[in-house]
Amino acid sequence: MKKIGIFLVLVMVAFLYSFKDEKQVDYTQFVSPFIGTEGTGHTFPGPCLPFGMVQPGPDNINQGWDYTSGYQYKDSMIAGFSQTRANGTGISEFGDVLLQPFTVDKKENFGESYYKETEKASPGFYSVTLKNKVQVALTCTERVAYHQYTYPTKAGYLLVDLQHGLRFLTDSLVLESNVKIEGNNSISGYCHTKNWVNRKYFFTIVFNQPFSQATLLERKAKEAAPRYVLKFDLKDKLLETKIALSTVSVTGAKLNLKKELPNWDFQNTISKAKKIWNNYLSRIVIDADARQKTIFYSSMYRLFIQPSNIADVDGKYRGADDSIRIAKNGEYYSTLSLWDTYRAANPLYTLIAPERVNGIVNTLIEHSKAAGFLPIWTAWGQDNYCMIGNHAIPVIADAYMKGFKGFDANAALEQMIQSTTQNHINSNWNLLEKYGYYPFDSLDNEAVSRTLEHGVDDYCIALMADKMGEKALANKYYHRASYYKNLFDTSTKQMRGKDSRGQWRTPFNPLMATSPMNNPGDYTEANAWQYFWTPAQFDITGMTQLLKGKKGLTNQLDSFFTINALNPNKHLGQEAMIGQYAHGNEPSHHIAYLYAFSDKPQKGKALITQIYQQFYGDGPTGMIGNDDCGQMSAWYIFTTLGFYPVNPVNGDFVLGLPQVRHAQVHLGDQKLLSIENQIKNHQGIAKFNQKTIHTAISYNNLLQGGNLVFQ
């Protein structure tokens, strides 16, 4: 034993020594923004900053499910370069202020093909050469996009298209606009758009040299914003432009530009962006081969793209009620895909980006005060009400349970209660309380999924209220959280739709996936098998009892991972599948980790490794299923480290198996968590600071730092 102890010390010393110069490592070299840009990942290759407002990049076309980020890797045409988009979503939004350089005066058909081999991307930078020989390069700060165009001649043209946007089921987009040409080197204004959300954006565009001519193009039917063609007589074939955005005003956009990017220094802007990205990427250091590092650090990159801080540099932002407000500490976050991210992305922020957590929670509280209930899915500060549940609640509860103090817990609890007692879109509390479930004959669809998702939120409120000493309130919500049991059908061992008379849905096919847009039914982008496991996020004990013990739990999991899918459809969440497990959509993400509570825990570790290796890659097709604002990436990061937040709010991380030999996590207060994997064949034990741990490790333990060894 003494020799083994000495050996472990030597290993750890060597491991730590290997990281002694890590501050000098350029972690951006391991990031490929092209991962997930082909297929259903819906990512984008353009530059951005961590939690930044702008995301400039190429748009191939302006609509279509494949083009929700504006881009598909295989597409051969670029319509132009817009300044905003979302990462890996299933519906389009943004695409503001499209610019397109060209070389011959024209009034239409501005799309250009490009030389694929010239397309390059890294954190904070993107470049490509169009077939018209214009070299395009993009970078940005948090609120300002910065473009550089190198023309083949001194005569240069530029399309400024303010009607453009990434659209979803709309052909009009812009409701109104007010745009002005200011002198001969600036254009400013605002557009009021209605797409996934109803929103206003304000902008200013400035050029490093004057344009000699500005031609207003003829508006087409239903267009409410201008398009211009600008002509430049270039001095050195180089044109630079900066585009600053604001939710508040043109004055706000101009202030953002003045504060963030007052000078014309393209390379320095790239260098600053790279430095900022390295600060975030270096928070976890792994020992792995080049391919795995590429996948891992690209996942880290995507995790930090959002949510976006949409407050101006002076702290002003436009609230959910369209009023102008001041953000606490200058932080007000949007692009909150909460149905997705509450599961792993938000818990991961509490570990490796804790400085952002209070700002996110304050945003949720302030949004609720303005809108009347907590946000469901926000873009540009406005709710699109997409998806079900009220999953701002677990994000708040998670922060509170982990000891974050930068928000008013009483105000938070008040908004949580209001959001779960007063009826609002997607939530009918009178109906839920009357029956103890949502009857499928009283809702248009998603009755089972809504019941189960509300259970997660109710449990979170109960847990937080319990810790705050509100015992009666906690008991009320614990009881509501148990409503899922009212939908458990003992004959099928599934969560099954039930009508207002208490009758099961008939016929019933647990393999048939449903989705509100494509195949309305009782489940949300999933089937009965996949939604069965939702309550296990917070009540694995109760679920095990329903299944008659650990053996029953194991049998149910075994069946789940082996029953073949029925005509899997990616639009119904049936993607990246192992049996009924669908890694391409979030309801499945915690399920392989549930084997830790069964009598075959090693089986779960083998499946976790299979998912990790099978459904992530280092090329454009390296993501199967939408990244969903970093949730798919968060699963990969947690799994690399060897644990996962099955319960996203109680502070426990269920142990899996590290997918690297060594990892080091930089925590707050200059503490380090070192992780070492010595396990073969998915069997072994875990020790934290020499003490054996079983099933899960707590957030508080991890924050202490030290050594987590799987041996």
Q: 40-67 pLDDT, tens per residue?
A: 999 999 999 999 999 999 999 999 999 9
Indicate the CATH number for domain 41-281: 2.70.98.10
Record the tokens describing residue 192, joined without a space. 């009021």
pLDDT category at 5 given cuts 50, 70, 90 is very low
pLDDT digits (tens, 9 = 90+) for 126-169: 999 999 999 999 999 999 999 999 999 999 999 999 999 999 98
pLDDT > 90 fraction of the chain, expressed in percent and rounded:
94
Arithmetic mean of pLDDT over the chain: 95
User: What is the predicted pLDDT for the residue at 2?
Assistant: 38
pLDDT digits (tens, 9 = 90+) for 305-320: 999 999 999 999 999 9
User: What is the predicted pLDDT for the residue at 172?
Assistant: 80
User: What is the predicted pLDDT for the residue at 23?
Assistant: 55
User: What is the predicted pLDDT for the residue at 670?
Assistant: 87
CA distance 163 to 356: 34
pLDDT category at 683 given cuts 50, 70, 90 is confident
Task: Check: CB of residue 107 under 8 Å from CB of residue 229.
Answer: yes
Better-predicted residue by pLDDT, 547 or 22:
547
Region label for 222, one of left (φ > 0), alpha (ψ between -120 and 50) or beta (otherwise) = left
pLDDT at 18 > cutoff 60: no
Helices 631-641 and 601-614: crossing angle, nearest 10°? 130
Domain ranges of the chain: 41-281
pLDDT category at 620 given cuts 50, 70, 90 is very high
pLDDT category at 21 given cuts 50, 70, 90 is very low
pLDDT at 170 > cutoff 50: yes
**200-211 burial string, b = 16+ CB within 10 Å, else e?**
bbbbbbbbebeb
What is the DSSP secondary-structure string of 531-549? HTTGGGGT-HHHHHHHTTS
pLDDT digits (tens, 9 = 90+) for 441-469: 999 899 999 999 999 999 999 999 999 99
User: What is the predicted pLDDT for the residue at 1?
Assistant: 41
Average pLDDT over residues 206-223: 96
What CA–CA distances, in Å, run from 349 to 630, 647, 663?
Answer: 11, 15, 17
pLDDT digits (tens, 9 = 90+) for 365-419: 999 999 999 999 999 999 999 999 999 999 999 999 999 999 999 999 999 999 9
pLDDT at 638 > cutoff 80: yes
CA distance 192 to 545: 53
Residue 262's closest CA among 138, 125, 124, 143? Answer: 143
pLDDT at 355 > cutoff 60: yes
CA distance 436 to 486: 7
Average pLDDT over residues 111-122: 98
Helices 409-419 and 447-467: crossing angle, nearest 10°? 150
Helices 290-303 and 266-281: crossing angle, nearest 10°? 100
Task: Check: CB of residue 142 under 8 Å from CB of residue 313.
Answer: no
pLDDT digits (tens, 9 = 90+) for 475-514: 999 999 999 999 999 999 999 999 999 999 999 999 999 9
pLDDT category at 656 given cuts 50, 70, 90 is very high
Q: Report how far Cα 92 is from the mean position of its chain's Cα atoms.
A: 14
User: What is the predicted pLDDT for the residue at 566?
Assistant: 85
Pairing relationship of beta strands 672-677 and 706-710 according to DSSP bridges: parallel
pLDDT > 70 fraction of the chain, expressed in percent and rounded:
97
Q: Which residues make Cβ contacts (< 8 Å) with residue 60, sequence separation at least 6?
A: 67, 70, 71, 72, 75, 77, 78, 79
pLDDT at 657 > cutoff 70: yes
Residue 193's closest CA among 230, 155, 160, 163? Answer: 163
